[in-house]
């Protein structure tokens, strides 16, 4: 049997390719997955990341999905310069305070020292604000709905692939409106994009909510977020949407003339989702075998491994190529692993580790029977299902159904995991126990000192006030003072 | 009549919106077009460009087209860091010499001075070379076919929107191969992407050829280019493809172990096309009314202007919305200009200036007759055709046919223009006359001093040795020495 003959190779391969179990060291598991699945590599500069083709394809799929949501609602893409005069960053007081420690500064260009240093954008509110002021004059120019796909840079002391890197890719929406109500509606619309992308596309069980005042974006009046639960119980902020009020309009002079001829300040918003989302995807679905990708975002939804030697190898390889063409024609992203130098067993482990939803084995016996042997990457709540023979003629329809079922299963699993690891708590011991393994839904006083104490003792911070929560009041879970926000707050350790 | 009543407004609008005639000042014409058509705006930093939604949409369409060509041939997209250690740039001697005067340098990050300054990528050969060295070990890892969509920065003394800006967007392909023959084949494949995109998609009449030694990319052994003719007779380099030999492999250690176990240097290539292409598009097709966009790259292929007042306005507006939905469903990018504050005449001029291929007017009489009044942006070789009534029921098919005809017409027009302005010359007076209005196909000795003299007297430079040219030898058009390259060379003034 091929499997036995190449036993040594398989063992070697497994050692090289396998990942640290999640339960042993979640952080080591994450690093093993991102590097061994060839999603990324370390760049030469501290905190920099190279996104390899397998990782970048996930980003492209996510980007296409989110871009369509952004465009269909009337937003238009544009592109603004990377380099911003240092003085721009300093105009909005909170904004500069928030970003100053993270800036990369360009002092020389074309061999000469610049008169005014330039900063590399950590976000584009200031430069887009400057242009909005130029483009908007009448109420007829509103709303102005812009979006940009770009790289931004923020100096990171403790970099982590996808989650915190000095450079990351993102989209940043920037809009201007006549009234606060319009701008708030836009802020919520953008939050919907993120929640829908996270749930429908990434199969995550994120919770939309509002940030508490201390967690707001630098310069915003209100910040909304979607928070997702990772499989170690921590929270990850996966997208944020900000209502700026007239803060940026006032400092950049973004005004419009109303129907009655008077000049008014615009109300602006900004919102962003980044490559960080890929880190969230990994930590939502992954397991001890490695990556688990939802079919919607999998570079390859199906991998076919042809099996056989000599003349049989030719027949199965050509059948695999033919099957792949049929599946691709049906819109299924399919890859044939025809590497001659590694065994089928190595390939099975490799694609499992790389999170491919469905594997098909195609050997001489399968071919004779007109079938392929299907394995699912994950099965839930049942243990992993056995391999299953599927008729080649019906493969496109069967696999499309399987992929949809896998997608739905991942969403269900993520939702159940989140709910199983979220506790409504009313006492401090309950709180401590809850944030050790997941999220605590608690009433809290909102006082900075109390938040600091909670963080010092548990490392948990307020993640958001969920939009859907019922009105509730009571004593603070920590200090007993009256609760703030009129609702329970999600507290968790966070990325 | 509406046209007369708003006569004043129309005249005001025309003054604001009209462009300098090409024959009067081509450069002023270009600037008028890019700003008034709202393709771009100036950024706050010298040489920087804001790409506005209308301009960015053209880029997205071009990008989608080129990306598909790149992917279908097995290349994979990836993303590499923006910031490169200064020392990397210095490893390849010619490369650093070529790029040193154009670099932006980051000296501070996170509030501290960096130990080693970082440069913002002017191109990514060095950092990708570093990663290739890490990823390639066996001949089985070859070819490695990578592409990146990114922003790059090169300090510009004399910036020009799209053509020369300090920051631009592009794709850069980087590949590694086992043999020189494989790498050359790849270099030519990439040149095909560019030529096909330019001709099939952008309706340009570019000529593929090889650069003479002095015009090669910094660090390349051979550089290929596509050169397109602008309507002022100048040439624009619209895409380049480079065979690096083992130059970068040697300095970055990109090696592979062959089947016989010996270590060999890889042969690499790189190739790029950028937002500069949009400048080429503008100067290939534009006329005295403004922009002319080929249907394939037009953000709006059809603009519908509903006409009428009071109750009639409602009826035509709703018919326009309905027609737009039908056309969009048929895959035609359609926009309804429903602005209440400007006259139909203003809208006609505006969309003509913005290069929309087809305009449909929809007034009460048209509606009653079940037709719309169609105007083409351009007609060639005949003068502009009169408006034509088309039946609404057949609009999707008719317009699809019209758009295809317009695309073919633009290609034919660009090709005829290029051929009419290209002269085979064998004497110096002929040469001087040819490069004053277009291109000269000449035999030349290839001596640097002779090239310098030609440039000093005419500002013309060798653009390329066309791939298709017949073998030919003879005296140099300038100095009479024996010709080099074995073929005629295109000389032209260039952007």
Tell me the nearest-neighbour CA distance from A51 into chain B, angstroms: 5
pLDDT tens-place string over residues B204-217: 999 999 999 999 99
Helices A53-72 and A180-196 meet at what angle, rounded to 10?
A: 140
Question: Would you call A77 an interface residue with chain B, using a CB distance cutoff of 8 Å?
Answer: yes
**Pure H helices in B73-141:** 86-89, 93-99, 125-135
DSSP 8-state class, residue A199: I
Question: Would you call A337 an interface residue with chain B, using a CB distance cutoff of 8 Å?
Answer: no
Question: Would you call B96 an interface residue with chain A, using a CB distance cutoff of 8 Å?
Answer: no
Question: Which residues on B lie below 8 Å from A96 (Cβ)?
Answer: none
Q: Rounded to whole angstroms, how far apart are CA atoms B296 and A269?
A: 33
Determine the residue of chain A that is closest to B55 in CA distance.
A78
pTM metric for this prediction: 0.95
Which of these ranges, A290-299, B3-12, B127-136, has the smallest mean pLDDT? B3-12
Cβ separation B57–A77 shorter than 8 A: yes
Q: B361 forms bridges with which residues in the sheet?
A: B305, B373
Q: Rounded to whole angstroms, how far apart are CA atoms B438 and A445?
A: 76
Q: DSSP assignment of B318-349, as one string?
A: HHHHHHHHHHHHTT--EEE---TTS-HHHHHH
Question: Would you call A325 an interface residue with chain B, using a CB distance cutoff of 8 Å?
Answer: no
Q: For chain B, how far is it from start to end, CA to CA, in angstroms?
A: 47
pLDDT tens-place string over residues B27-41: 999 999 999 999 999
Q: How high is the mean pLDDT of chain A?
A: 94
Assess contact for B188 and B224: CB atoms under 8 A: yes
Calculated CA dihedral for residues B361, B366, B367, B372, nearest 10 degrees:
-50
Range A32-46 average pLDDT? 96
Nearest by CB to residue A48, choosing from B49, B81, B341, is B81
Question: Which residues on A lie below 8 Å from B83 (Cβ)?
Answer: 45, 48, 104, 153, 166-167
Confidence (pLDDT) at B363: 96
Kindly tell me if the per-residue pLDDT of A137 is higher than 60: yes
Nearest by CB to residue B78, choosing from A53, A77, A101, is A53
Cβ separation B78–A45 shorter than 8 A: no
Query: How confident is residue B16, by pLDDT bands cut at 50, 70 and 90?
Result: low
Q: Rounded to whole angstroms, how far apart are CA atoms B282 and B355?
A: 9
* % of chain B exceeding 70 in pLDDT: 96
Run of H or E including A419:
helix A395-420
Q: A256 forms bridges with which residues in the sheet?
A: A264
All structural domains of chain A, each given as residue ranges with its CATH number in brackets, are 26-285 (3.30.930.10), 298-417 (3.40.50.800), 422-492 (3.30.110.30)
Tell me the nearest-neighbour CA distance from B180 into chain A, angstroms: 24
Q: Rounded to whole angstroms, how far apart are CA atoms A43 and A165?
A: 10
Range B49-65 average pLDDT? 98
Q: A241 forms bridges with which residues in the sheet?
A: A224, A271
Question: Which residues on B lie below 8 Å from A151 (Cβ)?
Answer: 82, 150-151
Question: Which residues on A lie below 8 Å from B339 (Cβ)?
Answer: 140
Kindly tell me if the per-residue pLDDT of A11 is higher than 60: no
Cβ separation B130–A169 shorter than 8 A: no
Tell me the nearest-neighbour CA distance from A320 into chain B, angstroms: 18
Cβ separation B56–A48 shorter than 8 A: no
pLDDT tens-place string over residues B387-436: 999 999 999 999 999 999 999 999 999 999 999 999 999 999 999 999 99
Query: How confident is residue B468, by pLDDT bands cut at 50, 70 and 90?
Result: confident
Question: Would you call B106 an interface residue with chain A, using a CB distance cutoff of 8 Å?
Answer: yes
Determine the residue of chain B that is closest to A145 in CA distance.
B53
Question: Would you call B460 an interface residue with chain A, using a CB distance cutoff of 8 Å?
Answer: no
Tell me the nearest-neighbour CA distance from A78 into chain B, angstroms: 5
Cβ separation A109–B130 shorter than 8 A: no
Q: Most B CBs within 10 Å: which of A40, A110, A125, A253, as the mutation test of the B interface?
A: A110
**Pure H helices in A52-137:** 53-72, 86-89, 93-99, 125-135
Kindly tell me if the per-residue pLDDT of B296 is higher than 50: yes
Tell me the nearest-neighbour CA distance from A330 into chain B, angstroms: 17
Total residue length of chain A: 495
Question: Which residues on A lie below 8 Å from B146 (Cβ)?
Answer: 53
Question: Would you call B471 an interface residue with chain A, using a CB distance cutoff of 8 Å?
Answer: no
Confidence (pLDDT) at A289: 95
Confidence (pLDDT) at B482: 98
Distance of CA B375 to the CA centre of its chain: 27
Run of H or E including B286:
none
Question: Would you call B325 an interface residue with chain A, using a CB distance cutoff of 8 Å?
Answer: no
Q: B466 forms bridges with which residues in the sheet?
A: B209
Kindly tell me if the per-residue pLDDT of A9 is higher than 60: no
Question: Would you call A16 an interface residue with chain B, using a CB distance cutoff of 8 Å?
Answer: no
Cβ separation B105–A108 shorter than 8 A: yes
Q: Rounded to whole angstroms, how far apart are CA atoms B423 and B429?
A: 12
Q: Rounded to whole angstroms, how far apart are CA atoms A230 and A207?
A: 12
Confidence (pLDDT) at A382: 83
Confidence (pLDDT) at B176: 98
Assess contact for A227 and A235: CB atoms under 8 A: yes
Q: Rounded to whole angstroms, how far apart are CA atoms B182 and B185?
A: 5
Determine the residue of chain A that is closest to B54 in CA distance.
A78
DSSP 8-state class, residue A200: I
Question: Would you call B142 an interface residue with chain A, using a CB distance cutoff of 8 Å?
Answer: no
Kindly tell me if the per-residue pLDDT of B5 is higher than 50: no
Question: Would you call A68 an interface residue with chain B, using a CB distance cutoff of 8 Å?
Answer: no
DSSP 8-state class, residue B494: B
The closest alpha carbon to A219, from A82, A87, A91, A121, belongs to A91
Cβ separation B60–A44 shorter than 8 A: no
Burial class (CB in 10 A: 0-12, 13-18, 19+), A315: middle
Question: Would you call B153 an interface residue with chain A, using a CB distance cutoff of 8 Å?
Answer: yes
Determine the residue of chain A that is closest to B75 in CA distance.
A53
Q: DSSP assignment of A166-180, as one string?
A: SEEEEEEEEEEESSH
Kindly tell me if the per-residue pLDDT of A15 is higher than 80: no
The Cβ of residue A214 has, within 10 Å, a number of other Cβ atoms equal to 11
Choice between A58 and A13, residue whose per-residue pLDDT is larger = A58
Burial class (CB in 10 A: 0-12, 13-18, 19+), B190: buried
Q: Rounded to whole angstroms, how far apart are CA atoms A191 and A178?
A: 20
Cβ separation A106–B104 shorter than 8 A: yes
Specify the 3-state DSSP secondary structure of B472: coil
C-alpha to C-alpha distances, A121 to A39, A237, B114, B248, B374, nearest whole angstrom? 25, 21, 18, 31, 46
Total residue length of chain B: 495
Burial class (CB in 10 A: 0-12, 13-18, 19+), B6: middle
Interface of B with A in 380-439 (CB under 8 A): none
Q: Rounded to whole angstroms, how far apart are CA atoms B485 and A438?
A: 72
The Cβ of residue B469 has, within 10 Å, a number of other Cβ atoms equal to 17
Question: Would you call B60 an interface residue with chain A, using a CB distance cutoff of 8 Å?
Answer: yes
Nearest by CB to residue B78, choosing from A52, A82, A110, is A52
Question: Would you call A339 an interface residue with chain B, using a CB distance cutoff of 8 Å?
Answer: yes
Nearest by CB to residue B43, choosing from A43, A81, A117, is A81
Question: Which residues on B lie below 8 Å from A50 (Cβ)?
Answer: 78-81, 131
Which of these ranges, A65-69, A392-396, B27-31, B467-471, has the smallest mean pLDDT? B467-471
Cβ separation A44–B85 shorter than 8 A: yes
Kindly tell me if the per-residue pLDDT of B90 is higher than 90: no
C-alpha to C-alpha distances, A201 to A198, B58, B472, nearest whole angstrom? 6, 28, 60
Buried/exposed B324-348: b ≥16 CB within 10 Å, e otherwise? beebeeeebbbbbbeeeebbbbbbb
Helices B26-36 and B276-285 meet at what angle, rounded to 10?
A: 110
Confidence (pLDDT) at B11: 39
Burial class (CB in 10 A: 0-12, 13-18, 19+), A338: middle
Kindly tell me if the per-residue pLDDT of B381 is higher than 90: no
Question: Would you call A79 an interface residue with chain B, using a CB distance cutoff of 8 Å?
Answer: yes
């Amino acid at each position: 049997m091929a499997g036995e003959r190449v036993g040594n190779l398989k063992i070697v391969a497994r050692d090289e390719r396998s990942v640290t179990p999640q339960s042993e060291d979640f952080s080591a598991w994450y690093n093993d997955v991102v590097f061994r699945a060839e999603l990324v590599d370390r760049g030469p500069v501290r905190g920099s990341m190279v996104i390899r083709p397998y990782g970048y394809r996930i980003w492209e799929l996510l980007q296409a999905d989110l871009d369509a949501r952004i465009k269909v609602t009337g937003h238009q893409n544009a592109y603004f310069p990377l380099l911003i005069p240092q003085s721009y960053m300093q105009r909005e007081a909170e904004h500069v305070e928030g970003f100053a420690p993270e800036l990369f500064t360009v002092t020389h260009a074309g061999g000469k020292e610049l008169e005014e240093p330039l900063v590399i954008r950590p976000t584009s509110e200031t430069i887009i604000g400057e242009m909005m002021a130029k483009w908007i004059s009448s109420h007829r120019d509103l709303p102005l709905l812009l979006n940009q796909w770009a790289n931004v840079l923020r100096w990171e002391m403790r970099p982590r692939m996808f989650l915190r890197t000095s450079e990351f890719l993102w989209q940043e929406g920037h809009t201007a409106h006549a009234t606060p109500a319009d701008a708030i509606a836009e802020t919520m619309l953008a939050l919907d994009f993120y929640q829908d992308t996270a749930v429908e596309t990434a199969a995550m069980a994120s919770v939309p909510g509002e940030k508490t005042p201390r967690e707001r974006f630098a310069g915003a009046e209100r910040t909304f977020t979607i928070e997702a639960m990772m499989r170690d119980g921590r929270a990850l902020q996966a997208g944020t949407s900000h209502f700026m009020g007239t803060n940026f309009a006032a400092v950049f002079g973004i005004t419009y003339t109303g129907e009655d001829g008077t000049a008014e300040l615009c109300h602006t918003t900004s919102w962003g989702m980044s490559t960080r989302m890929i880190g969230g995807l990994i930590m939502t679905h992954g397991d001890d075998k490695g990556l688990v990708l939802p079919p919607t975002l999998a570079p390859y939804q199906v991998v076919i491994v042809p099996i056989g030697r000599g003349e049989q190898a030719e027949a199965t390889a050509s059948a695999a190529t033919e099957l792949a063409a049929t599946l691709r024609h049906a819109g299924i992203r399919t890859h044939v692993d025809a590497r001659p130098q590694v065994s089928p067993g190595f390939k099975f482990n490799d694609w499992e580790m790389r999170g491919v939803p469905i594997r098909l084995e195609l050997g001489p016996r399968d071919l004779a029977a007109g079938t392929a042997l299907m394995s699912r990457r994950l099965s839930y709540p049942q243990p992993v299902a056995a391999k299953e023979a599927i008729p080649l003629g019906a493969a496109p329809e069967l696999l499309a159904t399987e992929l949809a079922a896998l997608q739905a299963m991942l969403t269900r699993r993520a939702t159940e995991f989140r709910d199983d690891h979220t506790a409504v708590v009313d006492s401090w011991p309950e709180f401590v126990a809850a944030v050790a393994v997941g999220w605590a839904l608690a009433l809290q006083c909102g006082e900075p000192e109390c938040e600091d104490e909670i963080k010092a003792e548990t490392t948990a911070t307020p993640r958001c006030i969920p939009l859907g929560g019922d009105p509730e009041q009571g004593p603070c879970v920590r200090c007993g003072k009256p609760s703030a926000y009129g609702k329970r707050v999600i507290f968790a350790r966070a990325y």
